[in-house]
Amino acid sequence: MLAATFLFGIPGGAPAAGLLLLGCLALGWLSLRDVVGLPPLRKRVLLGLRALTLTLTLLVCSRPGCSSEQHETIEGHLRVLVDSSHSVELALSDPSRREQAQALMAAWARDTAAGRARFSRFGTELHETSLDELVAAYPTDEQRSRLVESLRRLAAEDTELELGAIVVVSDGADTDVDTLPEDFALDGVRVHAVTLGEDDEVEDDAIRALRADAVGFLRQPMRVRVRLGTTSSEDRRVPLRLWQGQELVREQVVTIPAGGDVVVPLELTPTHLGRALYRVSIPVGTGDAVPENNDRSFLVNVRRDKLRVLLVTGQPSWDVRFLRVFLKRDPAIDLISFFILRTANDLTMAPSEELALIPFPTDELFSEHLGSFDAIIFQNFDYAPYEMGPYLPRIRDYVQRGGAFAMVGGERAFGPGGYEGTPVATILPVGVPPESLPPERSLVEGRFQPRVVTANRHHPLVALLPDEAESLRLWDSLSPLEGANQVTRLAPFGHTLLEHPRERALEGGPLPILAVGQAGEGRVLALMADTSWRWGMTTAGQSGDASAYDRFWDRALRWLTKDPALEPARVATDHERYAAGGRVRVDGVIRDAVHEPYASRELALLFVPAGGEVPVASRTITTDAAGAFTAELSAPDAPGGYRVMVRAPVDGAVAPAVDAAASGTASTELASEWFIVEEGGDELADPRPRPELLRALAERTGGRLVSAASLPALADFDTRRTRSLGVATRFPFESWPALTLFVAALVAEWAARRRWGRR
């Protein structure tokens, strides 16, 4: 077959040739005036020569030609592509889509033409298979249906252009495209479509799609877009619910138009860092064909946009100045700070509205906005003069619900600040002495070099450098502190990181200088000194390096606010989503509260469903010397959210490979992370067959559309392929004869005009 295209070889193509034609016509018109007064014969000769010359000029200069592409039709190979996605498994008619496909495979097994065909199956990926394998076991476990992409891959693999036709056996429910792309082409390969389930009658309300950002920010609202659909012939009113774990976050009634879709925006506000599990659901109605698509789970990786810190100080000092400058300098910190320079009891001799110093906004901070802060720091601050007693229980509750609190020493902190017996004292990692204690006993005078507690040397607040020995030498090289607050003891949940080299606590034991702990869900820090600024300025004057101060407070805030990079125990899965029964790889590093590795320990690795306590899968793992491990388990069969959890017995015995709730063995959770098991997902979101996509494929490529119920024979499919043999372009006036004729015409006209006295 030959297809030709007319063209002009002149630069600019047809427009340039058109301009050249106009120029030639203009010259011809001028020639009519030039021959006025000549005898008729001479006039006809000159006009004829001029017409010939202009015509040849136009043809030689515009270079008209034709481009022709030659094709040939060959008998090509046959490729069969069968759908192994989960939607084929749906039993919505009798026979079901899978049964139709199995019957077709069995019929083809008796067809002699099957021996000349190659078979593949598609879903999420393209897989090579054989007809015998499909007859023996027709798989329908793929979680996506990428029909158009699979066809493109098959055509791309045909580098020798020997493929003639592809027979597609599918329901047409491509999860990647809604309609056939305009640019879809297979370079002459025909696509014959065999439809499955085209007569299925589906009654289904479904969550068709769910779009949520993979990343959200702590305490910042984010939107989730849920697309609901129905196959009902009437409008449907359904309640749409948003859950976090077992807690209902939001519910609204949605009207779905008959046979259509509606997009519903939902707003949520993450409250915890790390992976957060959410779920949207609609009720399963009577006769709902696919209950699995009425519930969808999703994960949001929650991060911090900015660290919001409240700094309350009792009076200006070098320590206050350095900490405030550090906090304000960090662009990732949103600092709210208050210097207390007057109290409500001060005699001002003037109305409050006329004063430059406002009263401390106690109620506004600790009633309205307390939950908006990531960390609260009391620096040398006594609460009593500001009538804060009623608000101290709020601070305790804020910490126990997951907040962070730090108290920095001075003559108004700890015992001298009157915190003994208050709700705040119950969350501090040290015991607070009574306010009645004389100053010489509540405060320790003199310079001292704080000492790192050897057992807790791996904690990130004292392991300021990667190398352990260098980190210890750094602490020894820092400028000494001056003075410290006395405490009674270390709290049962506290850990001493730095201690006084000489002084003892009131109830015995080395005096803690830096102590940390976990109070409920939150973290607390107590620094029994108000001269940590010396680690910066004074040390810089001695060694030229002031970075230790910034490094310490940076790590202190990150640890208090549970920065994932400083967590003692971490566990992660290689993916966020898995198919039922898929392989789940789990990697983790397990350390205790002071970051001492669980070295060479046997622990329990569990899969626990959301809202449940009893595991659905478990195994025993053994950590290495650094507390790290890698393990693989099979994903649960039931869809939904799950926590991968690492547990250890409280008494230190070998961890059983079962959950404590099931066995009665006391155990503690060391680390956990969420993941999702999906059944169907986008594949089952819309269970309706889509024969219109298969019809478009067949029409676009010159193939046939047939039903699987008719059991078409492979030999009936046309495997002829039209392919190009190349493109040839010819310019007939780009030749020596044409050029010779053109020159001869010019010479003849010139000679005639000269002979008859014309220029």
CB contact at 8 A, 188 and 721: yes
Tokens of 58: 């136009």
Give the homologous superfamily in CATH for domain 566-679: Macroglobulin (MG2) domain (2.60.40.1930)
Per CATH, 205-297 and 566-679 having the same topology is answered: yes
Alpha-carbon distances, residue 660 vs 200, 427, 491, 653 (angstroms): 48, 28, 28, 13
pLDDT at 656: 39
Handedness of CA 543, 547, 550, 556 (dihedral sign): negative
Buried b (16+ CB within 10 A) or exposed e, 250-287: eeeeeebeeeeebebebebebeebbbbbbbbbbeeeee
CB contact at 8 A, 640 and 294: no
Predicted structure pTM score: 0.73
β-pair partners for 648: 668
Q: How far apart are CA 732 and CA 278, in angstroms?
A: 73
pLDDT at 153: 92
The class of domain 77-200+689-718 in CATH terms is alpha beta
Q: How far apart are CA 714 and CA 78, in angstroms?
A: 9
Give the homologous superfamily in CATH for domain 205-297: Immunoglobulins (2.60.40.10)
- What digits encode the pLDDT tens for the residues 328-383? 998 989 998 877 655 555 545 445 454 444 455 777 778 888 888 999 999 999 98
SS3 at position 639: coil
Residue from 324, 360, 317 nearest 342 by CA = 360
Pairing of strands 190-195, 705-707: parallel
Pairing of strands 295-303, 274-281: antiparallel
* Burial of 726: CB neighbours in 10 Å, binned 0-12, 13-18, 19+: exposed
* Burial of 234: CB neighbours in 10 Å, binned 0-12, 13-18, 19+: exposed
What distance lies between CA 613 and its chain's CA centroid? 29
Residue type at 258 in one-letter notation? A
* Burial of 699: CB neighbours in 10 Å, binned 0-12, 13-18, 19+: middle
pLDDT at 52: 85
pLDDT at 440: 87
CA atoms within 13 A on the CB side of 58: 19
* Burial of 650: CB neighbours in 10 Å, binned 0-12, 13-18, 19+: exposed
End-to-end CA distance of the chain: 53
- What digits encode the pLDDT tens for the residues 379-423? 999 988 877 888 999 999 999 999 999 999 999 999 999 999 999
Q: Find tokens 């009891």 and name the residue.
A: 345
What distance lies between CA 55 and its chain's CA centroid? 68
Q: How far apart are CA 506 and CA 84, in angstroms?
A: 73
Q: What is the mean pLDDT of each run of 10 residues along the chain (759 residues)?
A: 70 84 82 74 79 83 79 83 89 86 91 86 90 89 88 87 90 87 86 89 88 90 94 91 90 93 93 90 87 90 91 89 93 84 50 49 79 93 85 94 94 93 96 91 94 94 93 94 95 96 94 96 96 90 84 95 91 90 93 92 93 89 94 91 86 40 54 87 83 92 91 88 74 82 82 75
CB contact at 8 A, 276 and 302: yes
Tokens of 316: 């200006």
β-pair partners for 654: none
Handedness of CA 60, 66, 67, 72 (dihedral sign): negative
Q: How far apart are CA 742 and CA 726, in angstroms?
A: 32
Sheet holding 2-8, edge to edge: 2-8, 64-75, 720-730
Alpha-carbon distances, residue 679 vs 163, 292, 676 (angstroms): 35, 7, 10
Q: How far apart are CA 141 and CA 482, in angstroms?
A: 69
Q: How far apart are CA 159 and CA 141, in angstroms?
A: 30
- Please report the DSSP string for 123-192 in residue order: SSSEEEE-HHHHHH-----BS---HHHHHHHHHHH-TTS-EEEEEEEE----SS-SS--TT---TT-EEE
Q: How far apart are CA 631 and CA 660, in angstroms?
A: 20
DSSP state of 654: P
Please, what is the Cα angle at 351 between 345 and 354, to 5 degrees?
115
Q: How far apart are CA 48 and CA 505, in angstroms?
A: 124
Residue 425 has φ and ψ, to the nearest 5°, of -60, -30
DSSP state of 39: -
Greatest Cα pair distance in the chain? 140
What distance lies between CA 567 and its chain's CA centroid? 22
Residue type at 235 in one-letter notation? D
Please, what is the Cα angle at 674 between 568 and 654, to 5 degrees?
55
Residue 665 has φ and ψ, to the nearest 5°, of -85, 130
- Please report the DSSP string for 568-636 in residue order: SSEEEES-SEEETT-EEEEEEE-B-TT--B-TT-EEEEEEEETT--S-SEEEEEE--TTSEEEEEEEPP
Pairing of strands 602-609, 640-649: antiparallel
Domain boundaries of the chain, sorted by first residue: 2-72+727-755, 77-200+689-718, 205-297, 308-560, 566-679
Please, what is the Cα angle at 738 between 736 and 742, to 5 degrees?
115
Q: Find tokens 């200006």 and name the residue.
A: 316
Q: How far apart are CA 418 and CA 425, in angstroms?
A: 10
CB contact at 8 A, 582 and 639: no
Peptide bond into 15 cis (omega under 30): no
Pairs from 116-120 (Cβ < 8 Å, separation ≥ 24) = 116/77, 116/78, 117/77, 117/78, 117/79, 117/80, 117/167, 117/714, 118/77, 118/78, 118/79, 118/80, 119/79, 119/80, 119/82, 120/79, 120/80, 120/81, 120/82, 120/150, 120/154
Q: How far apart are CA 527 and CA 512, in angstroms?
A: 8
What secondary structure, in 3-state letters, does 322-358 show? HHHHHHHHCCCEEEEEEECCCCCCCCCCCCHHHCCCC
Residue from 593, 303, 623, 274 nearest 460 by CA = 593
Sheet holding 640-649, edge to edge: 577-579, 667-678, 640-649, 602-609, 617-622
Instruction: Tell which CATH architecture fits domain 308-560.
Output: 3-Layer(aba) Sandwich (3.40)
Tokens of 151: 């066809």
